[in-house]
Every structure is written in structure tokens, then in C-alpha cells.
Amino acid sequence: MNEPRSEPETARVRLVPGGLELAGEVLPLHAGSVHYWHMDPSTWRPALESLKSMGLGLVDTYVPWGVHETAPGEFDFGEREARLGLGEFLRIAHEIGLRAIVRPGPHINAELTFFGIPARVIWDERCQARSARAKPVILPVPPLAFPVPSYASEAFQTEAAQWLRACADVLEPHVWPNGPVVLYQIDNEGALYFRDGVYDQDYHPDALSAYRRFLQAKYATLQELRRVYADGSVTFAGIEPPKQLNVTAALELAPHLDWADFQEQLLADAFARMRAVLAPTALGKLPCSHNLPLSEGATPLDPARVTQAVDFVGLDYYHGASPNQRAEVARRTSELAVRCELDRKPVFACELGAGFPPFFPPLRAEDNAFTALVALAYGLRGFNVYMAVERDRWIGAPIDRTGQRRNTSEFWEKLVKALERTRFHELRRATPVQILVPRSFRRLARVLHAFGPFSAALFQVMGGSAEEACFEDELGFETSIVIEAQRFMRALEAALEARRIPYGIASGDLAEAVLERAQWSIVACTGALEPEIVQSVARAIERGKNVTVGPFAPERDPLLWPLEHPLSLLRRPGAELPSLLALDESAITTAMDQASALLGEYRLEAAPKEVFLTCHSDSSGGARVLFVINPSEQDLVAEVTACGAASALDGLEGHRFTARAGRFRLAIRAHSVRLLELARDS
């Protein structure tokens, strides 16, 4: 019997920190979105040529189910309407020398009515997500409000599977190395269609069945479920999820936290199921991603679970230029960077805004440039310009509808050239301090959100803090534990930035690796903490690592029951920083003074205080790129450390600077960022 032939190594696409490895060559992830179905086919070639002339090596496109479907199970991929010729669009891209990222959904948004899903599926009651009152869940979005699908619905999953298989058939001849397709994405911003409040959805019968299976797997025995829920009559077969927050004490939160936990699992299971449809196809042999929306930490998207369903996650960026947005981009990007670097995956922006939809607050080209540069400053290594080519319901793309470049395209071309000159995809930003944010903290913040049908994520997008929008009820504690933990984190960020100590944010599931590699790890704790994180912290303290927990000692598990084995926070020999830190200005100041002495080699000096710096080094430790950020409303003259360089070139504007006494002096406009390419020779 002949053994099946294995796929040659040269025909495989591999994820690497710098992007995609194709036949031994690394392709940085510099992409631009082009939506072929919005365009006259005669404009495809000039648009793709303009994209390539900007230095972007990949074209990204959604594949819209609702646009291609002509009848249930029947699709037009250019046989009737030329603008739907996905295969021809990809053939032209391949001929030009571009690679391609495809995103077949089933949800794509793309500012389409029904977010790209056929109307017949949207209005099929079997497919609709359900509210706590068993009604359809409506998304009030322009141009037409619609009921959102249930990702637990068997009917919806069956429909989606049929669509994904049809896509795979069309895409198969275009998968690398025979064609340009090198990466695909499952679904889009899977935060329950932005109806992601804990009690918004999903009470669909199929979701309730999955919820009961989830609880049975978690608790194993009915006795344990009844103990935790303090309900001697509850059964796995008959249990109902909570429909509103109606608790007065911490121990009553268990059913609510489990419901939020289940929503996280529901999404990850849905993505895994969608990916399994494509696994036997040529498309399924490629790496697979999923994009997280704005304020992803306040949604039921748990990156730890999502990355069990896909190969890696990326972020979407639509931010303005301001001090608050600089801080938010820094948090989001550094957290993504920690995850991807530990997993040796690219740190990628699946959507990096260029322009805006007409029903969003306007984003200027200056906002887009600021966001792109700040994200790169805090660890982003690749991006997809969204949109690269203008289309219906989009304003301000750098390429117009005919495929001709606009003046704003020059920024992107200069940026890509600077990134290529410095081989930026190979560089690394050192973050000796890590603030660890447990999933249990974010889940508790979602459950305790005080603004009813307005989700925590929406509150954060509008400029507030998702965690600070929590109920202030103390639930038997001395204070509101979520609000205090959030304030603790913000106080740490401010203190670290004031002392110019680089830091990052890390998710709790990465605790073991983060605690090992960081010079100082700080665990944000509401007083409730996952037992596995408690164990990781205990081991790190025993090894003499600098680990701090605050503002509360961990005494409870994620369901707020007392921990069976509480953590001892006695400082061990070798540790130089406190093991427990309260939300106290004097205590934080003392700890930061100690950290400044310990981590002096990492500090990046700059003046005035409104200026922020990040430094990126090559594998030998040599500083190669310095970002100088001015998020303020004032033009400034800054003096910044030269990081050992003798001179620097502004990668976008071409200005040259010479270091004097180890510093650069430079002007920097309000709401702008300078990318300095560092040179050691004068």
C-alpha cells in the first residue's frame, strides 16, 4: 500500500513573528483592503497596482455571503455579474505580484445591510439570537436595524457551513503557491454583533442546551452545582440562566459569572465549528485568524479561548488623536504583543483605519496616521489598511474608486518604506514591567456593568472606562472591588509613565510565562483570582521573582468563593519589590522609586512630560527605531534619549538629527508621532 504523500515544506505557509513564511522567505504583513464587489471590474487592476505602489504586499478582501447568494444554496461568483468575480479579482492580484487575505465571514460587517448575511437567514426565526424575554435581539445600526443571528443556532450554523464550503470551492485554485491566497479569517469582530451586554443574549433554545452542557462539564456533579449556587432544587437539565443582575451579596454572583463565562465559550466554539468546515479544504491548510474589535477586553471575546479555535488574533483600530486614545492604543497593542510574541505569531492589525464610515464620528488622515504610528510604537508589527480603496459607505480611503491614488496615500507609502528599511518586523520592544489582568477581573466587570442595555464595550468606545461603569455596590466588601482594581491599574500606569519605565499589559492566561520573563510583574486583583494564577504567583515568589499583587490580596476564586489554598504574600529572598501593594499614593510612590533603581537601564528619558517614547531593538540588542509621541494639543520641542545612537533619520519626513550629550532635540507637532531611524555612526 502506498503511503499518502505529504505536502512539501516549500508549499506551506507558516506564521512567524515577522509575518508569513513562504518558501523560506518572510513576508511582512503589510496589507490593504479592497472590496471587489463594490467596484467596476475595470477598476480592479488599477486599484491593485496602486496598492502595490504604496508598498503593500497583500490585498485583503471580505467575501460577502449575502451579495453572492442568488437563492438558498446557490451563488454567483462572476458567472452572471462580473463584479462578483472573486476568482478573476484574485487572478489579477496574483498576476500583479500581490498575496491575498480572504475573509469569508459568515459575519463580515463591511458596512453592509445585515453585515453581509442574506436577508432570508436574518429573518429566519430559527437563526435569530434571543433576548431574556425570548424575543429577537435587534441591532439598531444604519441603514436598517436587524435581528442578529444566534451563533449557537443549529440552523444558522448549517446555513453558514454551506456558505463556507461554497467559498472554499471558489478559492481552492487561488490558494498559495498556485494563487495569491496565503491567510484567511474566520468571522469578524465576533462580539455577538455588538449586542454583548451580559443579559442582552443569547437565550436561543440551542444556546440554552449548550449552556446546560457547559455547566455539567464545569461542575461534574449536581451536588457541587447546588453547593455553589446555594440552591438545593436546581438540576442540570432544568437550570435557567440569569436574566438580570439582582444580587445583594458576592456569593450570589456565581450564576451570573457562569453565564458570562459561557458566552465566552459560545463564541470560541462557534469559531471552531466554522473553521472545522474549512479544515478538509485547500483553504483550511492556511493559517487562520480572527479580529478583535475596539474595547475587546470588555466583550465576551476571550483571546485565550479564541486562539484555541484560530491560529492567532489581531486587533481593529479606529482611534482619534488625543492623550486618552494614545493610552488606549498603548494598552491594547502591548497586550496583543505579549500574547503574540510568546506564541511566536505576528502582532497584526486586521483593520487599521484609513477613513471612516459616514455614520461614525469623522476620522481625519491625521487621526489615522497618529493611530498607526502609536500602534507600531507599542508593538504592532503588521497591519491591514482599512479601507485602502474607497467604496460605498466609506469616506477617506487613500485610493479612490477608480483606482487612482490620493495625496493621503503618500503617508502609507513612506511608512512602509521606513518599516522595510529598518526591518521593523524583526525588532522587539522591551517591556520589563508587566501588568497582568486576569480574565476573572474582566468578567466581573462585565457582570457588574451598571448601564443596562448599553454594553461595557460601547461605554468604553464612547470615552468612558468599562470597569468604572460598574455598580458601586460593595456586595459585602469594604469597597467596590472592580472600581478600586481599575483605579489601581491606572495609578500604576501613570506612575510608570512618569518615571519613563516601559511596561505592557498581559492577559491572565499567560501568567506562568509572563511571571518568568518580566523583571517586575504586577497582578491586578479584585480579591478574586483564578487558582492557576495563584499557583503561578506562588511559584514565582518562591523563586525570588519580583511579583506584586494589588490592590487586594487574593482570597477568593473567580466565583467569589473563598480560596481553598490562599496565597502567602510574604516577600522571599531575592525580591526587591513588595509582594502586596494597596491603592495608596505613598505606597505606590515607594514601590516606583524602588523599581526605578532596579530598572534604570530600561528607562527612556524625555522632556517635556507630555512626550512619550518607545524604543525598538534588533536581535543583538541594538536600538534601531525610536518613536517620539506628542498626543497633546500643543506643538512641542522635545529632548529625548538617543538610545546610544549618534544620529537619526525621521523615517517619514526625511529630517536628520545629531545626538548631543546622548540626546536628540526636535520639534514635534501636536497630535503627531515621529519615527526615528537610529544610526550609531555619525
pLDDT band per the 50, 70, 90 thresholds, residue 467: low
Q: Is residue 212 part of a domain?
A: no
Q: Pick the more confident residue, 576 or 666.
A: 666
Tens digits of per-residue pLDDT, 188-234?
999 999 999 999 999 999 999 999 999 999 999 999 999 999 999 99
Q: Is residue 532 domain-shared with residue 446, that is, in the same domain?
A: yes
Tens digits of per-residue pLDDT, 171-190?
999 999 999 999 999 999 99
Q: Is the peptide bond before 357 cis (omega within 30 degrees of 0)?
A: no
The answer to whether residue 288 scores a pLDDT higher than 50 is yes
The answer to whether residue 9 scores a pLDDT higher than 90 is no
Residue numbers of the domain that contains 659: 606-679
The answer to whether residue 466 scores a pLDDT higher than 90 is no
pLDDT band per the 50, 70, 90 thresholds, residue 567: confident
pLDDT band per the 50, 70, 90 thresholds, residue 468: low
Q: Is residue 552 domain-shared with residue 635, that is, in the same domain?
A: no
Q: Is residue 581 part of a domain?
A: yes
Q: Is residue 371 domain-shared with residue 474, that is, in the same domain?
A: no
pLDDT band per the 50, 70, 90 thresholds, residue 2: very low
The answer to whether residue 570 scores a pLDDT higher than 90 is no
Q: Is residue 364 domain-shared with residue 504, that is, in the same domain?
A: no
Q: What is the pLDDT of residue 474?
A: 67
Is the separation of the CB atoms in 187 and 105 below 8 Å? yes
- Rounded alpha-carbon distances, angstroms, from residue 562 to 127, 495, 529, 556: 41, 32, 10, 4
Percentage of residues of the chain with pLDDT beyond 70: 94
Tens digits of per-residue pLDDT, 45-95?
999 999 999 999 999 999 999 999 999 999 999 999 999 999 999 999 999
The answer to whether residue 650 scores a pLDDT higher than 90 is yes
Burial 511-534 (b: 16+ CB within 10 A, else e): bbbbbebbbbbbbbbbbbbbeebb
Boundary (domain end) residue, out of 567, 582, 602 = 602
Q: What is the pLDDT of residue 3?
A: 43
Q: What is the pLDDT of residue 465?
A: 59
Q: Is residue 422 domain-shared with residue 570, that is, in the same domain?
A: no
Q: Pick the more confident residue, 568 or 58.
A: 58
Burial 347-362 (b: 16+ CB within 10 A, else e): bbbbbbbbbbbeeeee
Q: Is residue 353 domain-shared with residue 401, that is, in the same domain?
A: yes
Q: How many domains does the chain have?
A: 3
Q: What is the mean pLDDT of residues 540-556?
A: 93
Q: What is the CATH number of the domain that holds 522?
A: 3.40.50
Burial 307-334 (b: 16+ CB within 10 A, else e): bebbbbbbbbbbbbbbeebbbbbbbbbb
Q: Is residue 192 domain-shared with residue 298, that is, in the same domain?
A: yes
Q: What is the CATH number of the domain that holds 631?
A: 2.60.40.1180
Range 159-164 contact pairs with CB under 8 angstroms and sequence separation of 24 or more: 159/106, 159/121, 159/124, 159/127, 160/105, 160/106, 160/274, 160/277, 161/273, 161/274, 161/277, 162/73, 163/65, 163/69, 163/75, 163/104, 163/105, 163/106, 164/104, 164/106, 164/274, 164/277, 164/278
Tens digits of per-residue pLDDT, 226-278?
999 999 999 999 999 999 999 989 999 999 999 999 999 999 999 999 999 99
Average pLDDT, the chain: 94
